[in-house]
Amino acid sequence: MPTPRLLVVVGSTRPGRAGLAVGRWFRDVAEARGDFEVELADLAEVALPLLDEARQAVERRYAHEHTRRWSEVVARADAVVFVTPEYNHSYNAATKNAIDYLYHEWRHKPFAVVSYGGQSRGLRASVALRAVLTSLAMAPAGDVAVSLNESPVEDGVFEPTGVVVAAATRALDQLSALAPLYRALRD
Ligand SMILES: Cc1cc2nc3c(=O)[nH]c(=O)nc-3n(C[C@H](O)[C@H](O)[C@H](O)COP(=O)(O)O)c2cc1C
């Protein structure tokens, strides 16, 4: 199999967000390993409107160019990492909207969640997101949970703790192991 392609989705979209720094850190860690082609999708740039397709994604008949572009980005991924904030004890609305746009493009792909928040490290967001993704036949391959109290983003840079780095390595090892198996399943 060609080098698997890893898509890192940065879910938060608000000005001044921590998510972009966390997502860039994860992308850099993944790229440095050399076993993935890594692509970062920043949902602030992807800029999907609230779901505006008349047909359900399961039909894969898209009316809008923004949907076709998003479909291509997700379709070419062999594994996906969702970088999500915790908003009001769950993951954020832009992430759910981006998921709901598509169906087949997500299926039978391994995923990891990088969640972040205060004391909770975004774990409630992570658990809620995992339930949605497994319903799309995606396969859980690890969680990374970040406390912004321990590691605040400063000047746009995220400096992880050793525990977080170890969790990221485990998640990437799992994604690397599972990506070819799920590619074979899709084929
Ligand atoms: C709408 C909103 C709700 C939040 N709810 C939670 C929460 O439930 N738990 C938590 O740990 N932090 C919560 N926070 C704090 C966020 O973890 C923190 O602001 C973080 O930086 C948000 O990610 P972002 O900067 O990428 O948007 C909330 C922040 C916002 C903006």
Which residue stretches of the chain are H helix? 19-33, 43-46, 65-75, 93-100, 123-135, 162-186
Q: Which atom of ligand 1 is nearest to the CA of 22?
A: 26
**pLDDT (tens digit, 0 to 9) for every residue of the chain, 187 residues total?**
799 999 999 999 999 999 999 999 999 999 999 999 999 999 999 999 999 999 999 999 999 999 999 999 999 999 999 999 999 999 999 999 999 999 999 999 999 999 999 999 999 999 999 999 999 999 999 999 999 999 999 999 999 999 999 999 999 999 999 999 999 999 9
Domain count across the chain: 1
d(CA 21, CA 19): 5
Tell me the CA–centroid distance for residue 14 and ligand 1, in Å: 11
What's the pTM?
A: 0.98
Q: Is 87 in the pocket of ligand 1 (CB under 6 A)?
A: yes
CATH of the domain at 144: 3.40.50.360
Q: Domain range spanning residue 175? A: 5-186
Q: From atom 18 of ligand 1, which residue's Cα is the shortest distance away?
A: 117
Q: Is 117 in the pocket of ligand 1 (CB under 6 A)?
A: yes
